């Protein structure tokens, strides 16, 4: 037992040390900045952010954007995952590769391509005007729409794959059982597959939401002045205005929100593992 412990500790030591030096310590530093100005404790940065309309608006916008993007990803991703779950294993692997393909392309390039597609002289506007549907080009780029589109494209694969796993986790025999007991395919889906996979899909949604909160590149490149998110504002405070204490307060708010999401995530996964024992022990 004792040897096992020493071994475990040794194996975990490098990663723990790295995390402590590079992660825990700086995060602790950021957290300190929010309430300590170097000489004494102060509530000033928190008060300033609380009073700043800009910070509040951007914080709100970040959460609304994250929620909207997550919702769009779930509404698009779950049906796609359900379709994939019905494929033969061979084809499902192929489909998974296709879904993962964008991951091998830099997030910067993927974002820039939207500029080509959505710009004033972009493919979309040219097509619309050549069809005579629009006179003036529509302003798409540098709007919240462009930010949403860009973020959905980047996060959709993650949501599809988490939904797929949770749908595949539903034992096939359960659907057969439901059908034999008189359920139509539609009823079998709504009464069995959906309730059993929805918590898995929700965990995918939470991962997506957490990632949204910290998005930086996409809103910078595709969003205009009116669609910056919290990460952009933090960057502004750190690099341009040099108000590190204000940046720290906003970063801490982000951290807090992420932790809250993680708590919900743990709650959901606990519930899922309880269900998993409902069938045969696997």
- Among 196, 212, 221, 249, interactor with another protein by CB under 8 A: 196
* Surface-to-core class of residue 212, CB atoms within 10 Å of its CB (0-12 exposed, 13-18 middle, 19+ buried): buried
Query: Closer to another protein at the Cβ: 149 or 196?
Result: 196
* Surface-to-core class of residue 92, CB atoms within 10 Å of its CB (0-12 exposed, 13-18 middle, 19+ buried): middle
Q: How far is the CB of 195 from another protein (least distance, A)?
A: 5
In terms of C-beta distances under 8 Å and separation of at least 24 residues, what long-range contacts does 35-41 make, across chains too? 37/245
Size of the site for another protein (CB under 8 A): 24
Window 142 to 181, contacts with another protein (CB under 8 A):
171, 173-174, 176-181
Instruction: Count the alpha carbons within 13 Å of 43 in the hemisphere toward its beta carbon.
Output: 3
- Among 117, 161, 183, 236, interactor with another protein by CB under 8 A: 183
* Surface-to-core class of residue 209, CB atoms within 10 Å of its CB (0-12 exposed, 13-18 middle, 19+ buried): buried
117 binds another protein (CB under 8 A): no
d(CA 254, CA 104) in angstroms, rounded, equals: 28
Query: Closer to another protein at the Cβ: 27 or 276?
Result: 276
Reduced to 3 states (helix: H, G, I; strand: E, B; else coil), residue 41 is strand
Query: Closer to another protein at the Cβ: 187 or 241?
Result: 187
136 binds another protein (CB under 8 A): no
With CB under 8 A as the contact rule, which of the stretches 16-24, 47-55, 183-191, 213-221 interacts with another protein? 183-191
Query: Closer to another protein at the Cβ: 83 or 194?
Result: 194
């Amino acid at each position: 037992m004792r040897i096992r412990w020493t071994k475990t500790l040794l194996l975990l030591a490098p990663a723990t040390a790295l995390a402590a030096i590079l992660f825990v310590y700086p995060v602790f530093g950021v957290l300190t900045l929010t309430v300590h100005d170097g000489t004494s404790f102060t509530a000033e940065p928190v008060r300033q952010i609380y009073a700043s309309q800009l910070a509040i608006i951007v914080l709100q916008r970040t959460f609304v954007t994250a929620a909207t993007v997550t919702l769009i990803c779930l509404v698009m991703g779950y049906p796609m995952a359900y379709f994939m779950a019905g494929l033969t294993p061979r084809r499902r692997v192929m489909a998974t590769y296709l879904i993962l393909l964008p991951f091998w392309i830099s997030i910067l390039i993927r974002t820039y391509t939207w500029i080509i597609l959505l710009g004033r002289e972009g493919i979309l506007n040219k097509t619309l005007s050549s069809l005579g549907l629009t006179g003036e080009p529509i302003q798409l780029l540098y709007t919240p729409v462009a930010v949403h589109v860009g973020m959905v494209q980047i996060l959709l694969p993650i949501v599809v794959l988490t939904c797929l796993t949770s749908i595949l986790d539903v034992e096939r025999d359960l659907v057969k059982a439901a059908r034999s007991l008189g359920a139509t395919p539609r009823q079998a889906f709504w009464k069995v597959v959906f309730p059993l996979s929805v918590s898995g899909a929700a965990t995918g949604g939470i991962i997506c939401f957490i990632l949204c909160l910290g998005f930086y590149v996409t809103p910078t490149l595709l969003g205009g002045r009116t669609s910056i998110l919290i990460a952009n504002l933090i960057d502004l405070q750190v690099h341009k205005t040099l108000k590190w204490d204000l940046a720290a307060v906003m970063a801490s708010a982000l951290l807090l929100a992420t932790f809250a999401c993680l708590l919900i995530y743990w709650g959901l996964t606990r519930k899922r593992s309880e269900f998993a024992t409902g069938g045969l022990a696997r």
